[in-house]
Structure formats: structure tokens, C-alpha cells
A = this chain, B = another copy of it.
Amino acid sequence: MTKPIAPARAKPSHKVPKPEAGYHHGELQEALIAASEAILAEHGAEGFTLREAARRAGVSPAAPSHHFGNAQGLLTEVAIRGYAALADALREAASRKQDAREKLLAQGLAYVEFALKHPGRFQMMFANKRLVADDPRLGQASRAAGREFEIIIAELVGGTPRQAKTAAAAAWSTVHGFAKLALEDKFGSVNSEAGYREIMARLNHVLNYLWPASSARR
């Protein structure tokens, strides 16, 4: 070691009038979250390390505990934002279609696309043991994403609330299971562009098979 550790964090000694000045201020949270998301994107859910996140944010390994308590706390924050992003993607996909069934199909494709394009984040969102599972904000974010499905389902099948709930659970299970199996390479490798396209084509067949065009089917 030529130098002890070399924090490498830019330390603006001259004052800047507005915020953004020295120390980490309230920005360390954001920096840690961003670092965590980068790690998840690069190395997947199993590759996450609290120390590495701290390293990327330019702080000591003990710093995160002050803001998030522990690693689970930080990951919970990441998961909450992940659910928000997922809900956005589902809403956005549905908004592009007119027909209710096409909205649902678009949501199914968007769900799997989200999982395949952000595998680390997606896996972490559903790794309850690595999160603060009873954080109310986490449950809320998760349910908000699920509600995007229920909205379209209600529009599509009508029926009693119980039927809608069953249909929503069915839809969610299908796309979630497909995404999980695809991520574990059960449908072939997902790492090539060709493989990705093939898997999405397969998903299309599956969704059309399970949700046939005959709209209302009691």
C-alpha cells in the first residue's frame, strides 16, 4: 500500500454558497442507494456487499449503518424504489393500448421485460430475507405495483371483487413465474440478444394461450 486507503472523495475546501458543499450532507443516502443499484446491475443480487456499496460511495464501511441501520435497511430502500419503477413500467405499458386485454398482455410483457433487464434489482425485490420484510413502506410499494394489474383486470373481467382478485393473482403468478424461470435459465440463456428475443416470443405464446381472446370467461 503506497497510500493508506485514499478515500478519493472530492473534498471541496472552498465554500459553495448553496448546498452541495463539503461533507456528505443528506446526499450519502442517495449515493449509497445509487451505488447499491449499480452493484446489483453489475453483479446481481448475490454480488451485493455493504462494504462495496460504502466503498463506491467513498465512505467507511460503518457509515451506512447511521442512515439505514444495517444492510437490510439499505436494500429495503432499493427494493421500494424498484417496486415504484415496476409500477411505472406496468402503468406505462397499459397506457399505450386501448383494448383491456391488450393492456393486460402489454403489462405481462412489461413485467418480464423489467425482470430480464434489471435481474439483480428484481431478484432483490423478492428476497424477503435480505430486506426488512415488515417495513410498511415496502409492503405498500409492493401492493401498489400489484394494483396496476388489478386495475386492468377489473376492467377486463368485471365480476365480483373476489373474482377480480383471483384473476389478478393468476396473472401475477404467471408472469412472475415465467420471469423467475427465465432468470434461472430454464428457457435457455437470456444473455444474448437472440436468446432474449426468443424468450419474449415464448412469453407471447404463453400469454396468448393462458389469456385467450374470448374476453369474458366467467
A positions within 8 Å CB-CB of B = 44, 46, 126-130, 133, 142, 146, 166-167, 169-170, 172-181, 184-187, 202, 205-206, 209-210, 212, 217
Contacts and interface: CB of A to CB of B under 8 A. Distances in A.
B205 A166 contact: yes
In the A-B complex, list the 3 residue pairs whose CB atoms are closest, starting with the nearest: A177-B177, A176-B177, A173-B177
Contacts of A44: 129
Contact of A177 (B166, B167, B174, B185): B174
Given A174-B210, A210-B210, A166 B202 contact: yes
B167 A209 contact: yes
B173 A169 contact: no
Nearest to A178: B173
Contacts of A169: 178, 187, 202, 205-206
Contacts of A167: 209
A142 to B, nearest CB: 7
A102 to B, nearest CB: 19
Highest count of chain B CB atoms <10 Å: which of A126, A146, A169, A205: A169
Nearest to A186: B142
Contacts of A126: 180-181, 184
A180 B170 contact: no
Highest count of chain B CB atoms <10 Å: which of A178, A206, A212: A206
Contacts of A212: 217
Nearest to A185: B128
Given A174-B173, A177-B178, A180-B177, A129 B217 contact: no
Given A46-B130, A129-B46, A174 B184 contact: no
A127 B44 CA distance: 12
A212 B166 CA distance: 13
